[in-house]
Amino acid sequence: MKTATLISAADTPRTAERIRRLRSLAWLLDNSIPLPGGYRIGLDPIIGLVPGLGDAIGALFSAFIINEARSLGAPRSILLRMIGNVALETVIGAIPLAGDIFDAAFKSNTRNLALLARYQLDPIGSRRSSRFFVLGFSLLLALVVAFVIAVPVLVIVALFKLF
C-alpha cells in the first residue's frame, strides 16, 4: 500500500509547475469570468448549461485535478473529499437551471485545490479532518439509503394492512 507523502511546491520545479497548472485550471473552471457586482464564475457552469453532456464534461475536467492530486501523493481521505465535491456538483448540476446556479456558487475545483493546499500546510490535521468528514458523510449517506428503502416498504405494509 502506497503511503501519502507531503506535497511541497519547493520539492522540485516539476511539482511546482504541476501545482501552478492545477491552480490555473481551477481558476479557469471556477472564477475566470467576471460578472457585475464583483461575483465571478468560470467555464464549468457555462459548460454545464449543455443538457446531458455539460456536467459530464465538467466532471472530466475535475477528475483531472483529482488524478493529479493523487499522483502528487494526496492521501485517500483527501481524494475522497475531492471526489465528493465533484460528485455533489455534478449530481446537483444536472438539475436544470437550479443546478447551474449551484454549479456557479459551489466551485468544487477551487475547493479541491484548497484541500490540497491545506494538506501541504498541515498534513496530519488535514488528513484527520478529512477522515472525520468522510466518515460523517458515509453515515449520512447510509441513513438516506435506509430512509429511501424504509419509506416505500412501510407504505406497502400499511396498504396491505388496509385491505
Q: Per residue in 109-131, pLDDT tens?
A: 999 999 998 888 888 877 777 77
Q: What is the pLDDT of residue 28?
A: 95
Model-level pTM?
Answer: 0.74
3-state secondary structure of 41: strand
Cell numbers representing residue 85 in the block = 465535491
- 3-state helix vs strand vs coil in the chain, percent to 5: 75, 0, 25
- pLDDT of residue 1 exceeding 60, the answer is no
Lowest mean pLDDT among 12-16, 31-35, 82-86: 12-16
